[in-house]
Structure 1
């Protein structure tokens, strides 16, 4: 049996929040029967991987600093290694490893290449020259991979604004963590006393590496201002790193030695969170802070900086006080506000916990990554998805509303199911923007079927179709570039595009009351005959009726399409007419009325109750 082989490329990056995410990804796919290896030269990271049963590759080819000749040699060595080992999937992480790793994997013709940007090499406060330089490198590297994953929606939007890649190549999968519970039997009060805190001290906890980008100098300066304000407190720093000695000296210079405790690296973060009153994260840059998620999971009040990823998370509820980066005074004022208002701390903490549970769990993140892996394999290595290497879908797990993260998978299924259709010939970018428009349309209905192997089908349509087509006509500029590119590649498409544009205009002017259109439904080749199509039609009708529609209509090919026609007829759709859509292509039009289906449901229920 051919085994899927996955290599995570990290290089010499230190062990931190991103490393924990990578270990969870590796462990998840290892449990699927994949062979998973990790390329890292960091001793702590290697040890943690081995403890998790993950293979390690001892190859010193990527170092953080830029050294052109050494980097070129490292690239060549990595290329030779990948050519020899024949990995199925290469997943790169961090900026330097992402650039070198993607290029080496592309040159070695690795079938599936994806990259997770845990944060760019630049940030919101970087100079324009630095942003332009590094975004240009990211734009180059984007051509060497199949998918880019950002760990926050902020970084996905920023990547699109910078032109790093098109929307169909990048997807946001927010970081997620397991819900940690305190493990120590030591009461929180004893932990507090062990830190030198008095009973009425405000315990301020900050977790993470002691590095420049974490902004901890600003926290110590803010603590100095708090002391002058007469606030009783204890700052507890849990973490280690290159800035520790400097921070200890700064604490002494600010006369804070009696108010600050350095714990060093700790793994009992849930215990520390249970013992603190407030979490302060003064970072200058982050992808999506694991420390932030840990504080949210613990239901703690948070004071953090207003960097992009923090703003994205905090905008979902009143769950944190945000202050500008590099502003100790604003930081001290926010801390003081929390210290003087216990009700505010409780409210922030409760809201933070609710946001975490709805958006940032480890289960949600791992499921999304698994979906990306399997979707890319289905496209690039369909033979594997049909073999026992990839778990086959034996039953429908659920049909749910699509999210933006599902769009690449939907496009892949569309291309597979409708390979010779007109819209498919307009390319992935066009399809991505079309389905995204449906997703964002107020009455759009975009559903996906999700089995144990990821997405296996989708249904797309919209209530008030004339309004949707009018919206599509207004947004035609967003479709212009992919259409022009398609015409450049295939000039014969020009006449069909013109007629299609006219048809959209005609449909936009036709007013139909309480109507809904089922525009497309598709099932992946590996899920045929398992009831996926039937489940999608049933769920689509439920969505249509709940939107107020009184009938649903659809068109489908009349010839060589017996499976689809049978599905619609058995689902209750009535045949209306047969017509010629374009030369040589005949279509069947179907419709189903809400009152007819309600009558059928009532009849079946009554019949069932009699037996």
Structure 2
């Protein structure tokens, strides 16, 4: 690159969930001596404030949480202006809307390299057939605008190939990663429990995520009614927020769990608060990776999770988790009750989870792999030139 830094634009619909954290991490941690990175996104999530506080190069688009055709079109115009006025060597897109619009516009403005990180497929098994096929056709059509796909798991790569979205040679597997905190101390655990208002004897299950259908929280609440019947001291802490907040609060009341379930909201200190819990549960109906699983593993929490998509791979096919079918409250309850009753199994799964995240899912490892892919793409062009 003639001694200059590689200019990278990260494009994402919003900084929601694991995809938002991933885009933020790339913007924050790619080597600044080699990469000049800018992040563009639609506002509305807690990470927005972190980006602003850290003064990361960024621009906000008009894309909103709810579908708004005018706001969407104006966001397309805003992104086009950014690409027209600034030269980028790489455009790295994330999520369905940003992935589609970003790839097409990047090609239109002749950006040399265009990538798409597959955080989730627009076509999903839970959709009506016509809608699933429509999105699948769109994903295949967008392949012509994509130089490289980044999948977070081997199963994610396989799905891209099996769905005939692209070919295996154009898909790189880059497992996600986190900055691993120290092993929580007993004092930290006690402070976290006090912060959450938990009694010393309360066996506590934690979960975290956006309050959307995907996360299966309605099934977790119904499962926890059985858990509480078997273990009256058990408590459930739910971190997060989203469009189903009122629905979940209503279901909590109907199940008689108002004094059992804690709605803790979004928390920037999630890694600290998780240390005050005993088990982590992820009840997702679909989940490409499950970033929050890494935080639970780092906090030495044993896991109960659904056996969908990338979750078995992330958890080592059950090395640090009990896996159950999705949308099955009875199976979820049985696994939670069994684990809450078995301290030895909790300790074993917790230790294996901590070892696995330290070995396989560090932030440094993830960043290094992405940097290598960027440089590989640029070197190919230099070699051809």
TM-score normalised by the chain length of structure 2: 0.91
**8 A Cα contact 1:338 1:344, kept in partner:** yes
1:61 positional shift: 6.2
- Structure-2 residue corresponding to 1:371: 372
- Structure-1 residue corresponding to 2:58: 56
Higher relative contact order (CA 8 A, sep 6+): 2
Q: Provide structure 1 residue ranges, at least 5 long, that are not aligned to the other structure.
A: 383-415, 420-524, 526-611
**8 A Cα contact 1:183 1:270, kept in partner:** no
Question: Is 2:291 the partner of 1:290?
Answer: yes
- Structure-1 residue corresponding to 2:240: 239
Taking structure 1 as reference, are residues 74 and 270 closer, same or farther at Cα in structure 2, changes over 3 Å only?
A: closer
Whole-angstrom CA distance in 2 between matches of 1:119 and 1:270? 24
- Structure-2 residue corresponding to 1:453: none
Measured against aligned partners, the alpha-carbon deviations of 1:205-230 in whole angstroms (never above 9, x if no partner) come to 11222222111111111111122334
Whole-angstrom CA distance in 2 between matches of 1:46 and 1:191? 25
Q: Provide structure 2 residue ranges, at least 5 long, that are not aligned to the other structure.
A: none
Whole-angstrom CA distance in 1 between matches of 2:321 and 2:239? 20
1:151 positional shift: 1.7
SS in structure 1 opposite 2:84? helix
Taking structure 1 as reference, are residues 183 and 308 closer, same or farther at Cα in structure 2, changes over 3 Å only?
A: closer
Measured against aligned partners, the alpha-carbon deviations of 1:280-333 in whole angstroms (never above 9, x if no partner) come to 111112221111111112221100011111122234452111111111111100
- Superposed, 1:64-463 pairs within 5 Å as 65=67, 67=69, 74-75=75-76, 78-181=79-182, 187-316=188-317, 318-380=319-381, 382=382, 416=383
Moved more, 190-199 or 118-127: 190-199
Whole-angstrom CA distance in 2 between matches of 1:190 and 1:62? 37
1:50 positional shift: 2.8
Measured against aligned partners, the alpha-carbon deviations of 1:86-124 in whole angstroms (never above 9, x if no partner) come to 222111110111001100001110111111111112334
The number of aligned residues is 382
Taking structure 1 as reference, are residues 343 and 269 closer, same or farther at Cα in structure 2, changes over 3 Å only?
A: same
Question: Is 2:9 the partner of 1:7?
Answer: yes
Whole-angstrom CA distance in 1 between matches of 2:26 and 2:278? 32
1:10 positional shift: 1.1
Whole-angstrom CA distance in 1 between matches of 2:18 and 2:371? 20
SS in structure 2 opposite 1:250? helix
Whole-angstrom CA distance in 2 between matches of 1:77 and 1:172? 31
**RMSD over aligned Cα atoms:** 2.5
Higher gyration radius (CA): 1
SS in structure 1 opposite 2:275? helix
- Structure-1 residue corresponding to 2:49: 47
**8 A Cα contact 1:150 1:173, kept in partner:** yes
**8 A Cα contact 1:181 1:271, kept in partner:** no
Whole-angstrom CA distance in 1 between matches of 2:271 and 2:90? 34
SS in structure 2 opposite 1:53? coil
Taking structure 1 as reference, are residues 368 and 60 closer, same or farther at Cα in structure 2, changes over 3 Å only?
A: same
Question: Is 2:19 the partner of 1:18?
Answer: yes
1:64 positional shift: 6.5
Whole-angstrom CA distance in 1 between matches of 2:72 and 2:94? 17
**8 A Cα contact 2:188 2:272, kept in partner:** no
Whole-angstrom CA distance in 1 between matches of 2:129 and 2:316? 27
1:334 positional shift: 0.3
TM-score normalised by the chain length of structure 1: 0.59
Whole-angstrom CA distance in 1 between matches of 2:126 and 2:256? 30
